[in-house]
Amino acid sequence: MEIETLGGEDCKISPSGVSFTGSLVEIYKICLCSRVAGKLYLELLEFDLNDQNDIYKAAKSIEWDLHFNLTDTFSTSADVVKSKVKNSKYASLLVKDAIADYFTDKYGSRPNVNVDKPSVKINLYLSKNKGSISLDLSGESLHKRGYRKGNAKAAIKENVAAAMLYRSNWTEMIKENSGFIDPMCGSATFLIEAAYFATNTPSGYYRFYYGFMGWKEHDIDLWDEIFDEEESKIKPYLGDIRGFDMDKDAIHQSIENIKNAGFDKLIHVEKAELKEFKVVEKMKTNSGLICINPPYGIRLGDSQELTKLYVEFSELFFKNLPGWKLSVITGDENLSRSIPFKIERKNVLFNGAIKCVVSHFSLEDTKHKTEAPLSDGALAFRNRLIKRKKHLSKWSKRNNISCYRLYDADLPDYNVSIDIYEDKWVSISEYQAPKEIEEHIVKKRLSEIMRVVPEVLEIDNDSIYLKVRKKQKGNDQYLKSENSDEYNIIYESGAKFYVNFKDYLDTGIFLDHRPMRLRIKNESLNKRVLNLFSYTGTVTSLAAIGGAKQTVTVDASKKYLDWAKRNLQLNGLMSKDHIFIQSDTREWLKKDSSKYDIIFLDPPTFSNSKSGRDIFDVQNDYIELIELCSKILDKDGVLYFSNNFRKFKFDESIFKELEIKDITKSTIDEDFLGNPKIHKCWEIRWTKNK
């Protein structure tokens, strides 16, 4: 850890940064020499936070005249993270008022506020039920090295660039006088940071203002001594540092920054497009590091062109600089994955608020990927997947949904459905291709799908499960594809369910019925609920969680009923009030004489018994099913009838005494809007004059 190398002790990493203990010597060394720090604070007080009054009391209790005088100036700021007090400006104002009142009470007067360059800066940090008040010893962020003039900004912050160089092993490579190249150098941030490392120049060498300079504890003689000591360690570098950029304005800015940083004799930059990149003799004498911050696009349409760019520049460097190291930082990790070399390691860095991934490569034959570039169709599929992921991941988080359909044959040539479970597992179902599509084409497209999905979704291949959906014949519908008996737990609407990704065509839950299950949960309090063709009993569990007085679960499959019982047990709700019946649903309905407040009827489109004697067809048999259900439906009850037969025709005129309402639209969630025929659903009640 860099702090430790600069003398800090008892270092502890927390979400807000690194805490450590140290003397004035360490304070000066870190401010002057740290390459990755943004701010350095001296904590004066930590306190419990119940309300805003605690902020004022804590700030008022500090002996401020030990840190600055009445004639000095000060400013306050506040950072708030998930705190009871949410307004950072108001919180900062409370600290300012407390400091002013402290001096007024003691001296009858108060120091002035200076928001630009005060004598001291005070920071308040609030997180949950804790607060701390600190002196800002760094002043401006330490990433501001002092060589940029005016308000010039870089595409990447200097301390982020330095962190990337640490992760790229540049500190070891400079021992061999290795070369360094940035082929898209912009304003020369990487180049200058690389030179800072290589020459051992302190990062704050050109800064003239720090927050500690107006602090009463500041020892100017000690500061000068440490500055002189660190300056004496600066050394020449024999390696070659070069930058290129196609933008002439960027090159002009680079030249100015490099000169201001004192590296105009070490760093060479020139205007050149990527395709014009040429190797000079000096680059061939030693290996080196290529650091690049390529564009990663904001518009989705950029993705295909940018993918080609990433492939092209990596192949170009491999051809011209074999054996060199390549480190790429990007806000779109999928683009760095398109580089045809094996990623040796990855790091996550934040450039401001942007989460970036740094991928490290070796440009060697043994590290070169042999996969062919994706076809245009596969790139279109990839772009579609990226777009759907971006949209649905936000929607799912807003609605606390952890399992949803990401893609459903949106592109006809890539004819699969893709479901995400808990951001851990992916179930891909390949729809059976038409006979006219040649088998090798089907296999190629499926191979591309299996290549793109783990890349875009960032899920390991081991957690991606592929199944082929085809028309089931005879007893095939009952066959298992595997016998793993491997179950995982997912969450929905306050319930937990077991799913199985390996053994069956379906996983154990129909994601399209999520809104219907939630509706039944919300309506089940003190109700008797009947779940027919229950499958794994997900409706039963949610009805029980919703407070159902009794549930009755009916299915012909013992396997599915056992699964339904396990789901209920998983939610801690198994009792005598929840009844499970293994039976043919029609035959059971003919015998049952109980009354139910809620009935959920979700029959399959077609099924036959294992013996083959009993055949069910929803279009032919729905009338009988609804008539049987209506006989046991309470006069104030509701029957929800659903099926997924796309050609289903419902003749409502047959049922004279029933009110029938198509509620399909309200039972289809955002992730299934692209497939509105995924199911149909009706709400059925007795007419009021019944």
Task: Tell me, yes or no, whether 523 and 593 share the same domain.
Answer: yes
What is the rounded average pLDDT of the residues 496-512?
93
Residue 12 within any structural domain of the chain: no
pLDDT at residue 128, as a whole number: 86
Task: Tell me, yes or no, whether 566 and 648 share the same domain.
Answer: yes
Task: Tell me, yes or no, whether 312 and 187 share the same domain.
Answer: yes
Residue 515 within any structural domain of the chain: yes
> HSE-up of 540 (CA within 13 Å, CB side)?
36
Given a cut of 50, is residue 611 above it in pLDDT?
no
pLDDT at residue 295, as a whole number: 82
Task: Tell me, yes or no, whether 446 and 409 share the same domain.
Answer: yes
pLDDT at residue 106, as a whole number: 93
Report yes or no: 554 and 530 within 8 Å, Cβ to Cβ: yes
Of 126, 72, 138, residue with least CA distance to 99? 72
Given a cut of 90, is residue 367 above it in pLDDT?
no
Task: Tell me, yes or no, whether 97 and 162 share the same domain.
Answer: no
Q: Give the contacts of 77 (CB within 8 A, at least 6 positions apart).
A: 88, 92, 121, 122, 123, 124, 136
Given a cut of 90, is residue 256 above it in pLDDT?
yes
pLDDT at residue 171, as a whole number: 93
pLDDT at residue 235, as a whole number: 95
Given a cut of 50, is residue 624 above it in pLDDT?
yes
Interatomic CA distance for residues 441 and 446, integer angstroms: 9
Percent of the chain residues past pLDDT 90, beyond the cut: 67
Domain that holds residue 291: 158-205+235-367
pLDDT at residue 442, as a whole number: 82
3-state secondary structure of 7: coil
Residue 404 within any structural domain of the chain: yes
Task: Tell me, yes or no, whether 362 and 409 share the same domain.
Answer: no
Given a cut of 90, is residue 563 above it in pLDDT?
yes
pLDDT at residue 479, as a whole number: 40
**What CATH number does residue 265 fall under?**
3.40.50.150
For the chain, the average pLDDT equals 89
Residue 552 within any structural domain of the chain: yes
Interatomic CA distance for residues 682 and 663, integer angstroms: 5
| Last residue within a domain, chosen from 321, 346, 367 | 367
Task: Tell me, yes or no, whether 196 and 323 share the same domain.
Answer: yes
The continuous run of DSSP H or E covering 8 comes out as none
pLDDT at residue 276, as a whole number: 81
3-state secondary structure of 328: strand
- 313-349 tens-digit pLDDT: 888 999 889 989 999 998 888 788 888 888 889 998 8
**What CATH number does residue 419 fall under?**
3.30.750.80
Given a cut of 90, is residue 626 above it in pLDDT?
yes
pLDDT at residue 148, as a whole number: 87
Task: Tell me, yes or no, whether 459 and 514 share the same domain.
Answer: no
Interatomic CA distance for residues 314 and 311, integer angstroms: 5
Residue 25 within any structural domain of the chain: no
Residue 6 within any structural domain of the chain: no
Residue 191 within any structural domain of the chain: yes
Task: Tell me, yes or no, whether 568 and 627 share the same domain.
Answer: yes
| Last residue within a domain, chosen from 323, 341, 367 | 367
What is the number of domains present in the chain? Answer: 4
pLDDT at residue 598, as a whole number: 98
Q: How confident is the model at residue 604 (pLDDT cuts 50, 70, 90)?
A: very high
Given a cut of 50, is residue 476 above it in pLDDT?
no
pLDDT at residue 370, as a whole number: 67
- 326-335 tens-digit pLDDT: 999 988 887 8
Residue with tokens 């003799």: 281
| Top mean-pLDDT range of 98-107, 429-438, 456-465 | 98-107
Given a cut of 50, is residue 301 above it in pLDDT?
no
Residue 649 within any structural domain of the chain: yes
| Last residue within a domain, chosen from 350, 367, 384 | 367
- 117-129 tens-digit pLDDT: 899 999 999 988 8
Task: Tell me, yes or no, whether 528 and 559 share the same domain.
Answer: yes
pLDDT at residue 446, as a whole number: 86
Task: Tell me, yes or no, whether 270 and 185 share the same domain.
Answer: yes
Task: Tell me, yes or no, whether 270 and 412 share the same domain.
Answer: no
Residues paired with 495 in a beta bridge: 492
pLDDT at residue 614, as a whole number: 67
- 266-292 tens-digit pLDDT: 999 999 888 888 787 777 777 899 999
Q: How confident is the model at residue 681 (pLDDT cuts 50, 70, 90)?
A: very high
pLDDT at residue 150, as a whole number: 63
Residues paired with 684 in a beta bridge: 639, 660
Q: How far is CA 634 from CA 382, 580, 595, 639, in A?
A: 51, 21, 5, 10
What is the rounded average pLDDT of the residues 386-411?
95
- 135-190 tens-digit pLDDT: 999 998 999 998 987 655 667 899 999 999 999 999 999 999 999 999 999 999 99
